[in-house]
Structure 1
Amino acid sequence: MPPPELMIFLVLAGLILIGSPIAIALAMGGVVGIVMGLPAPMLGTLGTNTYNAIAKYPLVAIPLFVLTGTVFERTGVAANLVRFARALVGQRPGGLAAVATIVCLIMGGMSGSGPADAAAVAMVMVPSMTRAGYPRAFSATVIAASASTAILIPPSVALILYSILVPGVDLRALFAAGLFPGLMAGLAVVIPAIWLARRHGFELGDEVEGRPPVKESFIGALPALFAPVLILGGLRSGLFTPTEAAVVAVAYGVFVGMVVYRTLTWRGLYRAIADSAVLSAVILLIISLAGIFAWAGSTLGAFDAVAGAFLAVSDTGWVVLLLVMLLLLVAGMVLDGVSIYLILIPILMPVVQAFSWNVTWFGILMAMTIAIGQFTPPVAVNLMVTAKVAEVPMEATVGWAAWMVLAMTAALLLVIVFPGTALWLPEVLGYRV
């Protein structure tokens, strides 16, 4: 029989492989570890650890930012942003691919969720790109890759969770640190997308829509463009905390939808709240039951043992870091960002401390690597969403996705080699990194 510290990982991996919900897999892994390795009275800690995992005030920001993204999605913001981006980019080979990336970057500054970003933009962009001559598989891949930047662009739900799980991390610094790498990741999608569009002659047919007027489209998109400014500006000025920023973002989204655009009805608002509640409940349930896994793993010494295995591979930081990034990439291909953070942060933090890596910088590396995994077949969260919208099989996107993966990996390597690409902005703003 394997030792308890190994059994918690075997049970977790086995349940995930057979399709068990991640929350149940985390809880059962922890329970098995407690039963096998600790005295029977320790089972009484299950309720306490479940409660303590979510009894954290900053977690209030997660359901609120989820609601913000849902409200903006239901108001038709994506269509207005697409119109404005098309006015800026104009009609040229690869133009609509660039538009999709720009819109995903802006939407990421509202929703903080890659799948939500991908769904909203795909619904608007895939029909337009198809009429312009883009293959549906190509369109789905570009949008999925662009939407993956939502995990980096503030307000990212994953970065909020990272700041809660890692002591001493300033969420404002983390948001600022993710901004420039997020833009780099977006650029890493645009460059191969435009090159492929020119090479294959996309967007040259008679069905390409005309260029909208810049002034008119800017006015239409202005309420949406102001949302990231409101959130980040309020945080920078100290006017409100990240949790309060989430409340302001929700109120602003409802105002834009019901008063400015007038596309959000009371019934639509109710549905947005209900859908956001369901998604938030799933996220918080995972976090709650992960408390059992985290407590069992730390008490049994399982996390220290795995960290020790990483450190035993090499005493060279770059070698270990590349192994960690490979692990995160594989995890990003099969799991969502929240689950990855909950499972791997307790394991990876001892490694980070052993090599004295900057925790803010490492948090951005985690997010960027997971972002790549979110559109890397065969199991990619964002790509599953856009492929479904585009009505294409996942395997049809593999050839296109390879180019985006290579380009974003190059951007990741730049952030690894030059940590200042992530840390310079929070340092300039005076945040503790």
Structure 2
Amino acid sequence: MTIALLFAGLLLLLFTGLPIFAGLAVFGGGLLLATQGELGSVTEVMFGEMNRYLLVAIPLFAFMAYVMIRSRIVDDLYQTAYTLTRHLPGGLGIATILACTIFAAISGSSVATALTIGAVAIPQMIRFGYDPRAAYGLVAAGGTLGILIPPSGPMILYGVTTDTSIGGLFMAGLVPGLVMAGVFIAWSMVTTALKHRHIEREPRASFREAMASIRKSAWALSLPVFVLGGMYAGIFTATEAAAAGAWLALFVGVVIYRTLGLRDIWDAAIDASRISAMLFMILAGASVFGHVLTKLRIPQQIVEAVTAADIGVTGFLVVMMGLIFVLGMFLESIAIILITTPVILPVMHHLGINPIWYGVLLVINLELAQITPPVGMNLFTIKAITQAPMGAIVRGSAPYVLLMIVVLAMVMLWPQIALWLPGTMKG
């Protein structure tokens, strides 16, 4: 009962419109003051949480992403994807998902992926005769791949919170991310064949044309291969990979594409600083909340409750996925990670749940949060691009919610979908 009251109080405070970092810090500090009579070493707790080398990866990956966005490589990526798939049913939809998949491996952000790919893809799909709702839903769902396919900001924060290998989490997200992209592609092909037969397919690209298109995007395609391949082979840690990726992004933008000036680099650095500062402030506030929960022995009470209920691993995961799905309708993804993870971590250890496996399940669920109303960020992103009615965007995204739940269930039933690749890593 105490646990439910605590979380209900926190959610009510956050629903007042108070910034998430302030709500976490104020609520945690208030509880500490009420129960302990003093704030104690709150500043030390906050500093200890922030003083982690792994967190350096967040601004570096963000800088890499913004540099590549400002290098304007998206047109080349999209054109390459379309050249290779234009002869297939739903070729333009397939190209959109492929472009989202590749850009997800560069940006690490769902919103950035939906915004950048959507600005190019949605007008094209509508011009070729696709139902606008189908175009909205496809891009909104494809954008969610930004936080599952590495690099991923939420995975970094989850890894820091649980003291789990960031490289292992990144590799664990790769196969489920590709599976999800494959499911989206299959859906696009089937629905196009059934509902959009009037859309004409272009002839298959010749070998020479396909190779020319791939060569044009080769440098952009090399970035995720360089970053992820370096981590997989044990050459880089996650933080070192972020730094190396940032340098390669600068090289591609300045030397290869020659579209990046000093002003663009400065703006990319400012954007990366803003997003990183926001995440760090939320992390600092969450550290206070987590500290007071530990003081009140909330995690231990949850372990005792789960043990008494004897619901087992599957029951616990189903309950948690349902809870996170509901929270995702109202809260930002980072807040969900930082509020729930410290509380359930002892339960995961007690039940023997692999934290990498759970991390992938969590991130898939957070992807769902991006396209479920009322606070689905990708829905608002598509509305900002198209000015379409929100109802049309939500209806277009609805089938993808079901598809993502199917993938979530697959990874829950067959953990090796997530755990196989990390198990083969070197180092």
Shorter-chain TM band: over 0.9
1:199-278 aligned at under 5 Å gives the runs 199-201=194-196, 204=199, 213-278=209-274
Match of 2:30 among 29, 32, 35: 32
Match of 2:182 among 182, 187, 193: 187
Match of 1:163 among 141, 144, 159: 159
- Cα distance in 2 for partners of 1:307, 1:17 equals 28
Match of 2:330 among 329, 334, 350: 334
Counterpart code for 1:291: S
Q: Secondary structure at the match of 1:47?
A: helix
Alpha-carbon shift at residue 252 of structure 1 (Å)? 1.0
Alpha-carbon shift at residue 325 of structure 1 (Å)? 0.7
**Deviation per CA, 1:155-211, whole angstroms, max 9, x where unpaired?**
1111111111113x22222111111011111122222223223332177169x8996
Alpha-carbon shift at residue 95 of structure 1 (Å)? 1.3
1:77-226 aligned at under 5 Å gives the runs 77-167=73-163, 169-201=164-196, 204=199, 213-226=209-222
Change (3 A) 1:211 1:311: farther
Change (3 A) 1:96 1:334: farther
Alpha-carbon RMSD: 2.2
Q: Secondary structure at the match of 1:334?
A: coil
**Deviation per CA, 1:212-270, whole angstroms, max 9, x where unpaired?**
93122111111110001110122123322211111111111111111111111211111
Alpha-carbon shift at residue 44 of structure 1 (Å)? 3.7
The aligned residue for residue 7 of structure 2 is: 9
Superposition TM-score, scaled by structure 2 size = 0.93
- Cα distance in 1 for partners of 2:34, 2:362 equals 32
Match of 1:371 among 363, 367, 370: 367
Q: Is 1:74 equivalent to 2:70 in the alignment?
A: yes
Alpha-carbon shift at residue 84 of structure 1 (Å)? 0.6
- The worse-fitting range, judged by mean Cα deviation, of 123-132 and 78-87 is 123-132
Alpha-carbon shift at residue 411 of structure 1 (Å)? 1.3
- Cα distance in 2 for partners of 1:308, 1:94 equals 52
Alpha-carbon shift at residue 18 of structure 1 (Å)? 1.8
Q: Is 1:298 equivalent to 2:294 in the alignment?
A: yes
Count of residues in correspondence between the two structures: 425
The aligned residue for residue 388 of structure 1 is: 384
Counterpart code for 2:166: L
Alpha-carbon shift at residue 73 of structure 1 (Å)? 1.0
Asked if 2 retains the 8 angstrom alpha-carbon contact of 1:109 and 1:155, the reply is yes
- The worse-fitting range, judged by mean Cα deviation, of 86-95 and 7-16 is 7-16
Q: Secondary structure at the match of 1:153?
A: coil
Instruction: Point out where structure 1 has 5 or more consecutive residues left out of the alignment.
Output: none
Alpha-carbon shift at residue 311 of structure 1 (Å)? 5.3
1:43-54 aligned at under 5 Å gives the runs 43-54=39-50
- Cα distance in 2 for partners of 1:60, 1:113 equals 17
Counterpart code for 1:127: P
Asked if 2 retains the 8 angstrom alpha-carbon contact of 1:154 and 1:178, the reply is yes
